[in-house]
Amino acid sequence: MKHRMVTLTLAAWLATAAAASGQTLIGFAKLPPDSFAPGPTSGQQITPANGRTPPFVNKQPIQGFSAVLRAPNGDFLAMPDNGFGQKINSADYLLRVYRISPDVRTKNGGSGTIAIRSFITLNDPDRQIPFAITADLTLYPGTTVPVDAALVSNRWLTGADFDIESVRQAKDGTLWFGDEFGPFLLHTDATGRVLEAPIPLPGVKSPQNPSLLPGETPNLPRSKGFEGMALSPNGHTLYPLLEGPLVTDPDQRRLIINEFDLRAGAYTGRTWCYELEVSTATGQSIGDMTAVNDHEFIVIERDNFEGAAAAFKKLFLVDFDERDANGCVAKRNLADLLTIRDPDNLGGFGPVFRFPFQTIESVLPLSENVLAILNDNNYPFSAGRIPGQPDPDEFILIRLDRPLAQYGR
């Protein structure tokens, strides 16, 4: 009986390892879910979830990361989104970019922890933003709670002002953020200070666009603005990608990639389309888009499920120089984040590692075949790792089975 059990276990291991071919986990680190930074009391408009009871007094949760950039000395700049997931409940959540230092666990060692080195908070002291923001108010919207005095005096931006989902750093050191509410491009200096009025996408408005006129019908669904945004290798061009299709598009799998010229400070009018594998009716959406070279990009595509229910979390290599049968950018499978080989058990879950989070929104090429990937933990709401427990922020390194250049044409 004992010999038979060993045989079956080995067969099961071989089956799962074969299913996970294509990518290998080579580094793992995580930030505990209950990680906070100093700041005004937050979470005053959310309800308890996964055993956590708000508000979070005199602190800000270091929310799941929606974008990541490289920083000097092996550090990274990691950007949370608007906080608690909605405009109406995130007025006390500050928009920030954190400098993080992962000590990834590898087969050669490492603690598997993430240190928070510093952060910047987006702010508008020069009143570049032409519409009212939280800092202009006396009370948080829909409450009798006074807006924090430090938030007002510093004119810090909050998750009720913008839903930032992507960030890129230009060659001059300034930061460009992609927002979902407008959708807008938001431009700040390296300290987070807004440099100019938010730049709208011509002809596109979401229901949360502050310039929406009475009776005007938005043509972009709520929370479907700029999700991913790539920067060309020469630093001249941004490529913001809408998370969802336009309401008026008969093909509800088709997303639009726009081109923005940083030197001219304007959209060029050039666009490309990206076609989702599955209709948005199932919750399918993109999570990030980042450049590999001047015509190839990595896109995260995911379903809206977590934990055992998660079924589709993939990376695709897309090529602007090629078209598919529908005229959209050509796609090639790059990695399946639900079947990652883990021969050294770095993740602690056995020979096959799953990244089963509802929102996976950061990918960054580190070499010709190594990618860094981070999740958005939607604290305290998502529970993809352990049911009933809020998710950590995880930082993983995967090695592809061949260099990125070999996935192309």
- pLDDT, tens digit (0-9, with 9 covering 90-100), for 249-268: 999 999 999 999 999 999 99
Q: Which two tokens stand for residue 82?
A: 């608007």
Q: Are 318 and 299 in contact (CB under 8 A)?
A: yes
Range 57-86 average pLDDT: 95
Q: What is the pLDDT of residues 18-35, one digit of tens each?
A: 344 489 999 999 999 999
Q: Quick one: pLDDT at residue 283?
A: 78
Q: Which two tokens stand for residue 122?
A: 């987006």
Q: Quick one: pLDDT at residue 258?
A: 98
Q: Quick one: pLDDT at residue 67?
A: 97
Where does 19-210+224-407 sit in CATH, by number? 2.115.10
Q: How far apart are CA 370 and CA 402, in angstroms?
A: 10
Q: Quick one: pLDDT at residue 63?
A: 83
Shortest CA distance to 134 belongs to which of 125, 147, 121, 120?
147
How is residue 139 annotated by DSSP? B
Q: What pLDDT band is residue 282 in, cutting at 50, 70 and 90?
A: low
Helix (H) or strand (E) run with residue 397 in it: strand 393-400
Give CA torsion, residues 28, 34, 35, 40, to 10 deg: 160
Q: Quick one: pLDDT at residue 278?
A: 81
Q: Are 286 and 297 in contact (CB under 8 A)?
A: no
Range 71-92 average pLDDT: 95
3-class SS of residue 6: helix
Q: What is the pLDDT of residues 182-229, one digit of tens each?
A: 999 999 999 999 999 999 999 999 999 999 999 999 999 998 999 999
Q: Please report, rounded to a whole number, the percentage of residues in the chain having pLDDT higher than 70.
A: 93
Judged on CB neighbours under 10 Å (0-12, 13-18, 19+), 12 is exposed
Range 64-79 average pLDDT: 95
Q: How far apart are CA 179 and CA 177, in angstroms?
A: 6
pTM attached to this predicted model: 0.93
Q: Are 293 and 239 in contact (CB under 8 A)?
A: no
Q: Quick one: pLDDT at residue 8?
A: 34
**Which residue has better confidence, 408 or 183?**
183
Q: Quick one: pLDDT at residue 45?
A: 97
Domain extent listing, the chain:
19-210+224-407
Q: What pLDDT band is residue 279 in, cutting at 50, 70 and 90?
A: low
Helix (H) or strand (E) run with residue 168 in it: strand 164-169
Alpha-carbon distances, residue 194 vs 91, 153, 309 (angstroms): 18, 15, 40
Q: What is the pLDDT of residues 149-195, one digit of tens each?
A: 999 999 999 999 999 999 999 999 999 999 999 999 999 999 999 99
Helix (H) or strand (E) run with residue 333 in it: strand 329-336
Q: What is the pLDDT of residues 390-405, one digit of tens each?
A: 999 999 999 999 999 9
Q: Are 240 and 226 in contact (CB under 8 A)?
A: yes
Which DSSP string corresponds to 254-310?
A: EEEEEEEETTTTEEEEEEEEEE-SS-GGGT-EEEEEEESSSSEEEEEEE-S--GGG-
Helix (H) or strand (E) run with residue 66 in it: strand 65-70
Average pLDDT across the chain, whole number: 93
Q: How far apart are CA 221 and CA 206, in angstroms?
A: 6
Range 370-377 average pLDDT: 97
Confidence check: pLDDT of 134 > 90: yes
How is residue 106 annotated by DSSP? B
Confidence check: pLDDT of 17 > 80: no
Q: Are 176 and 186 in contact (CB under 8 A)?
A: yes
Give CA torsion, residues 235, 402, 385, 94, to 10 deg: -10
Q: How far apart are CA 79 and CA 150, in angstroms?
A: 21
How is residue 150 annotated by DSSP? H
Q: What is the pLDDT of residues 305-325, one digit of tens each?
A: 999 999 999 999 999 999 999
Confidence check: pLDDT of 388 > 60: yes
Q: Are 296 and 408 in contact (CB under 8 A)?
A: yes
